Amino acid sequence: MLCWGSTVEGQLGIGGAREPVCEPRSCQAFNGCGLKEVACGGRHSLFLLRDGRVYTCGSNRCGQLGHDKPGDSPELVVALDTQKIGVVSCGQAHSMALNEQGQVFAWGAGGGGQLGLGTAEETVPIPSLTANARLMLDGQLFTWGQNSSGQLGLGKGEPSTLSPQPLKSLSGIPLAQITAGGDHSFALSLSGAVFGWGKNSAGQLGLNDKQDRSVPCHIKFLRSQKVVYISCGDEHTAALTKDGGLFTFGDGSRGQLGHDSTNNEPLPRQVQELMGSEVSQIACGRHHTLAFVPSSGLVYAFGCNTNGQLGTGTRGDIKSPLPVKSNWMTHDTRTNPKVPGIDLNSVRLLFETLSKPPFARLLEQATKSFESLLIPQLPCSPPDVEAMRIYLILSECPALHDSKNYITLTIPLAMAILRLDANPSKVLDNWWCLVDGGVFSRLVDMYKSIVVFLLTGGKALLVPVFLENYTSATLKLLEKLHKVNLKAGHVEYNRFYIPDITTLVDIQEDYLKWFLSKAEISSVTLCAYPFILNAQAKTTMLQTDAELQMQMAVSGANMHNVFMLLTLEPLLARNPFLVLHVRRDHLVSDALRELTIYSDVDLKKPLKVIFDGEEAVDAGGVTKEFFLLLLKELMDPVYGMFTQFTQSNLLWFSDKCFVEHNWFNLIGIICGLAIYNSTVVDLHFPLVLYKKLLGVAPTLEDLKELSPTEGRSLQQLLDHEEDDVEETFCLNFITREYYGLTEVKELIPGGDRITVDKNNREEFVEAYLKYMFRDSVSELYQAFSSGFLKVCGGKILSLFQPSELMAMVVGNNNYNWEEMEKNAVYKGEYSASHPTVRMFWEVFHEFPLEKKKRFLLFLTGSDRIPIHGMESLRIAIQSTSAEEHYLPVAHTCYNLLDMPRYQTKETLHRRLTQAVEQYEGFSLV
C-alpha cells in the first residue's frame, strides 16, 4: 500500500509525520494482512481487510474513527469486531460500513442526518445501525442526509432527512454503481445510462447549464460513450468509458478537469492528453483527479496539490495530467537482474485454481515433479536470469506451505537457494526487495513455521545429522531474508520473532553453546540468529551472560569447563547482590563512590540499595526509588548535562555542561543497571543513542526524530530541484546559540569559505550529522558509553536491534489495559468486586489513551511498560480511611495507589483526574 498527500491529522497511517507527503510512500501497517479496500474522507481513512476487520486513522474530531485511540496509525474498530464487513465508505467527517447481511453501520459527524440513524446528533463515536437496519436486497436505492441542493433526489422542496428514504424515481432501473460528491449524486445503470442530481453551480451534472436538479436526470451526452464507472469530487465529476476514455466536467478552478485550464466545463469533455492511453481506473478527491493507465504502469494526477496529494514530488496545482512519481512501479516487464518481470498475483491465482477439485490431480503430479526432478536439479549458477524466476514461483506454491511437505519440498528449496553462486544469489535478493509486502511476509512466516516444526517434532522424524542440517539451512534462509528486509523494509523487525521460542528451546543452554562457538562446538545455535529471538529470550540470554561472567570471574574458569561450572553449586552465595549504601542528601556523590569500587562483573549482579539510616528491605521498591531520585538529580537542568529539544521532547548531550564527565559515565551505568534489573527508567533519549551503542551509523531520519525542524530543513536542501541552492539556502558553516552567544563551528577545515551547492550538499548533510551526533559530543558520549558498556558490553550486545535495546531501558508502548486490570492486586478492604474498585476500572477504561498514559506515569514513574509486556507490570490498589475530598496518592516505587472509598463514579473521576494531572514526574521531560 502506498500513500501520499496531507498527513496533518495522521490520515495516511504512517505515524507521527505532520509534513505533507509529496510522493508515494510505503505504508507498512497491513503488510501480509490481506488489505481489501481503502476509503478516504476529508481527514480520515478506513481500511478493510479480507477477513472483514475494519481499521481507521486520522482526525477523530467528530468520532469518525469509531475508537478512542490516537489517529496517527491505523487502529481496529473494535465495535465492528463481531461483524464480517464487506464494503466501507467515508464522507467528509463520517464513516460507513456494510456487513455481509446487508446491514449498514454509520458513525462520526451526524448533524446533517448523514448517518441515517433517525437522529441529528452532532457526533456518534461508536458504529451504529442505520434506521432501516437492513436495506432491501431488490436493487432499491436509498438516500438520506442534507438536501440543500436536491442531492437526495427526492423531489423539489423536500427537506433533509434523518433516516434512509427510497429513491422511487429510479425504482426498477438495475443499477451498477452509485456515488456522491460534495452536494451532488450520480447513478450508473447496468446498461450504461448515467443519472445525476443535486448541486450544479459549476456544471458538475454535465447538463450544459448551472441549474440544480432535485430529481435524477438522464445525462444524455454520456449515453453514447458507454460509461462503466463514475467518480465525484467536491464540485467536479469524472466518467470512465468502456474503451478507456476519461471525461471530466464541472468545477475546473484548481485544474482538476485536466484540460490545461482552470475553466469550468458544463458538458463532459474528454481529457485530450490521455487520449490514446487506455485508462482502467479513476478516483476523485475534493479538488483533484487520478487516472491509472495499466499499459504503462503509470498513475496520472491533476488538480489541487496544496498538500502534495498529486504525488508528483512537488507542491502547486497542476492543470494537465502528470505521472505520479512511480519508482514503485516497473514499466519494463522484461526480466533483468533488477526486475523479475513476473506477476506473482497471477502465479498465486494459478496455484489457487490448480488447488480446486477439477485440477487436483494435475497439482499432485506437479508437486511430485517439483520434489523428484525440479528442486534437486536446481543449479548453483542458472544459465540465464530468466531461469531465476522459478525461485519466486515455487515460493507461491501452496504445497510448500504445507507442513507435510517441509522436509521433501520446502527445506530442499531453501538449500538450493543457499547453494546459489554470489551473482545469482544477489539477483534473488534484488527481486525479494521488490516483491509485495504480503509475498515477503508469507515467505518469512513459512520458514519460521519450519523452524518451529523442526524444534518440536524434528527429533522424532530425523536422525541428528539431518536435523542439524535442515535447521541450519532454514535459519540461514531466514537470515538471508532478514538482510533483504533491512534494505527493503517490507516488515517490522519483530515479524521475524518466533513466538514462544523460550518454550521450544533451553535458551540458557543455547547461549552457552553460542558463547563457546570459538571452542569449536559446532552445533546449530539460535543465538547466532538473534533476529528470531523475542524480548523474553534476549532477557534470558542477558541473565545467562551475567551468570557466566560472574562464575568465570569467581572461579577463574576457562572456556571449556563452563558447562561443568553451571551444574556445580553456585559460588556466588557469599555475595550474590550488588549492594549500594547511599545517603539521600548525597545521592550522586555516593553512587559515584560506590559504583567505582565494583568490578564490571559485580555490576551484573541483582541490585540492592540501602538508604543510610533506613531499615527498609529492598524487595524492588527501594531500588526503583533509587533510580528515580538519582535520575531526577542528574537531569536537573541546572547542570546543563542535556539539551531538551522542544518539538520532540527528547534529550541529547549538551556540549556546554557544568559537571564532570564521570556524571555521564554514571548515567551510562544506570541505563545498564536498569536492563539487568528489569527496571524501566524514564529517560527520553532518541533511538540514535542506542544505534551508536551498537555501532550503527546515524542517518538524517535520526535528526528528524530529535529535531524535526532541522531534519526537515536538511531534507529540503537535498530535495531542492533547482540549480539555485546557494542563493536559496545561503549555507557554508553552522551557527549555534549558546546562552545568548553565537558560536561558529566549522564542519570541515576551512568550512566558512566553502559554499554549499547542488554538488556538495550531500557532503554537507553528512558533515552536519557527523558534527551533531559525534564530534560535538564525543567526550560526553564516550563517558556515557563506557559506563553503559561496563555493565552491558561484550559479545551479548551484538544480538540486539537498536529499538530492542531502547525498549530494554525505557520500556515500550504495547499497552494492554485489560491485562493490567487482570494482574492488579488489592489491599485493605479492597477486592476486585468492591464497588469503589469496580468504579475505578470503569472510570479508567473510559479515559482516552493520553490520560491512561498520564495515570501510568503518575503511578509507576514512567508512561511506558516493561519490555515483557503488561503481564510483568503489577499494580496494587489499597483502601485508605481518608475522606472523599482527598486525592488518590501514588507510591511510585511500589506501583501502589492509595485510594479513598469514593461513593460515586463522578467523584472518583474528578479526584483521579486531578491527581493525575497535577503529577509533575521525576524526569526533565
Residues that are catalytic: 893
Give the DSSP H/E element, type plus range, for residue 293: strand 288-293
Distant-in-sequence, close-in-space partners of 433: CB < 8 Å, separation ≥ 6: 484, 487, 488
Distant-in-sequence, close-in-space partners of 632: CB < 8 Å, separation ≥ 6: 922, 923
The length of the chain is: 925
Burial status of residue 195 (CB atoms within 10 A of its CB: 0-12, 13-18, 19 or more)? buried
CA triple 667-668-669, angle to 5 deg: 90
Rounded distance between C-alpha atoms, residue 187 and residue 141, angstroms: 9
Q: Are 485 and 532 in contact (CB under 8 A)?
A: no
Give the DSSP H/E element, type plus range, for residue 764: helix 761-773
Per-position DSSP letters for 41-81, written without gaps between them: -SSEEEEEETTS-EEEEE--TTSTTSSSS-SSS-EE-GGGT
Q: Which three cell numbers stand for residue 789?
A: 558498556
Burial status of residue 169 (CB atoms within 10 A of its CB: 0-12, 13-18, 19 or more)? middle
Rounded distance between C-alpha atoms, residue 341 and residue 897, angstroms: 62
CA 793 to chain centre: 30
Rounded distance between C-alpha atoms, residue 228 and residue 758, angstroms: 48
The greatest distance separating any two alpha carbons of the chain, rounded to the nearest whole angstrom, comes to: 96
Q: Are 236 and 217 in contact (CB under 8 A)?
A: no
Q: Are 113 and 124 in contact (CB under 8 A)?
A: no
Distant-in-sequence, close-in-space partners of 151: CB < 8 Å, separation ≥ 6: 143, 145, 180, 183, 184, 185, 197, 198, 199
HEC secondary structure over 420-436? CCHHHHHHHHHHHHHCC
Q: Are 549 and 555 in contact (CB under 8 A)?
A: no
- Phi and psi at residue 130, to the nearest 5°: -65, 165
Q: Are 496 and 475 in contact (CB under 8 A)?
A: no
Which region holds residue 45: left if phi is over 0, alpha if psi is between -120 and 50, else beta?
beta
Rounded distance between C-alpha atoms, residue 444 and residue 50, angstroms: 20
Which one-letter DSSP state was computed for residue 812?
Answer: B
Q: Please, what is the angle between helix 835-846 and helix 905-918, to 10°? A: 60
Using alpha carbons, select from 21, 55, 16 the residue that is nearest to residue 35.
55
Q: Are 152 and 144 in contact (CB under 8 A)?
A: yes
Per-position DSSP letters for 566-620, written without gaps between them: HHSPPGGGG--SEEEEE-GGGHHHHHHHHHHTS-TTGGGSPEEEEETT-----SS
Q: Which SS3 state, helix, strand or coil, does residue 240 take?
A: strand
Q: Are 397 and 412 in contact (CB under 8 A)?
A: no
Alpha-carbon dihedral angle through residues 424, 425, 429, 435, given to the nearest 10 degrees: 60
The residue written with cell numbers 501452496 in the block is 398
User: Could you count the other beta carbons within 10 Å of the beta carbon of residue 466?
Assistant: 14
Per-position DSSP letters for 643-658, written without gaps between them: EEETTTTEEEE-SS--
User: Could you count the other beta carbons within 10 Å of the beta carbon of residue 575?
Assistant: 10
C-alpha to C-alpha distances, 43 to 95, 314, 763, 791, 818, nearest whole angstrom: 11, 21, 38, 48, 30
